[in-house]
Amino acid sequence: MPERDPVFRRLTLIGAGLLGSSVARVARERRDLAAEVVVTDRSVAVLDRVAALGFADQIEPDAGRAVAGADCVMLCAPVGAYAAIAAAIAPHLAPGAIVTDVGSTKVSVIRDVGPLLPPDVHFVPAHPLAGTEYSGPDAGFSTLFEGRWCLLTPQDGTSAVATERMADFWRRAGSMVEAMDPVHHDRVMAMVSHLPHLIAFTICGTADDLATEGEGAAATRPEVLKFAASGFRDFTRIAASDPVMWRDVFLNNREALLEMLARFTEDAQAMARAVRWGDASYIEDRIGRGRKIRQGLIEAKQA
């Protein structure tokens, strides 16, 4: 890696879960992302783990004190906590600092955080499309963002220099960066991420309920677990994701998520009707589309 100045002098991460701890780790491992990494989290237990894991230059339990003097402040908490965090840090932000985030919704983040920030601060909302089904400071790793997309949703009036600094930051972390309109971002993510997660959580719940029916149940719990490899298992990986994070995503991308779920439900009901009335060619045609999408992924090397 060629010697070059770090993008930021002092990077403050608010929240040290899977995402925050991964950003801290990659920043510590490379030296060109941030000269100094400050970590704050509302949980003392998490901060104790951060200290033990040793990926922060400074640990500061008070969010206001943590952001003082930082030229970049990154929100890495569930999006439902953003408004309270923004209110707490706003008076302490340094003039010219960049405030950014890693949240999975962007319209709600702009709505909740934007109005609370002082005018001399640059707000560059971001969404690195990276994660695993694990959570917490132990789950992070420095290569989490490698080869993954990071979507930036700057608004009219956002400084182009600040946006480019964030793009530079994520590229150095290994990501491919793209700018996107926040409303469009939320609809795309509702389809490719939020709806699949809602469906995965739901089918796991359906199976779990079924398995608790006892005597005469359609499938007992041992049977669900033993035979999960027949298809069900593919849904359980993403269904293991963090409940609080996903609860907040669903509540903060409500309209787009409900629209995509309504589309999916119509399609599932049409399939049910075809099954009930034996419409073989309809079923075959709809199944054929799945193959086409998979083929597209293989060609796009995303499979």
Retrieve residue 294's tokens.
Answer: 């998979």
CB of 16 to its own copies, least distance (A): 20
Minimum CB distance to its own copies smaller for 58 or for 212: 212
Within residues 236-275, the interface with its own copies by CB under 8 A covers: 236-241, 243-244, 246-247, 250-251, 254, 256-265, 267-269, 271-272, 275
Handedness of CA 169, 175, 181, 186 (dihedral sign): negative
Total residues contacting its own copies by CB under 8 A comes to 95
Within residues 94-153, the interface with its own copies by CB under 8 A covers: 129, 133, 148-149
Distance CA 198, CA 189 (A): 12
Retrieve residue 231's tokens.
Answer: 């298809």
Distance CA 287, CA 14 (A): 44
For the stretch 97-123, what's the b/e string if a residue is b when 16 or more beta carbons lie within 10 angstroms of its beta carbon? Answer: bbbbbbbbbbbbbbebbeebbeeebbb
Distance CA 35, CA 159 (A): 23
Q: Which of 51, 87, 179, 218 binds its own copies (CB under 8 A)?
A: 218
Minimum CB distance to its own copies smaller for 43 or for 159: 43
Kindly state whether residue 204 participates in binding its own copies, applying the rule CB under 8 A: yes
Kindly state whether residue 18 participates in binding its own copies, applying the rule CB under 8 A: no
Extended strands (E) in the chain: 8-14, 34-40, 58-59, 72-75, 98-101, 122-124, 126-128, 149-152, 176-179
Minimum CB distance to its own copies smaller for 29 or for 208: 208
Within residues 31-70, the interface with its own copies by CB under 8 A covers: none
Q: Which of 30, 65, 111, 286 binds its own copies (CB under 8 A)?
A: 286
Kindly state whether residue 214 participates in binding its own copies, applying the rule CB under 8 A: no
Q: Which of 2, 165, 203, 214 binds its own copies (CB under 8 A)?
A: 203
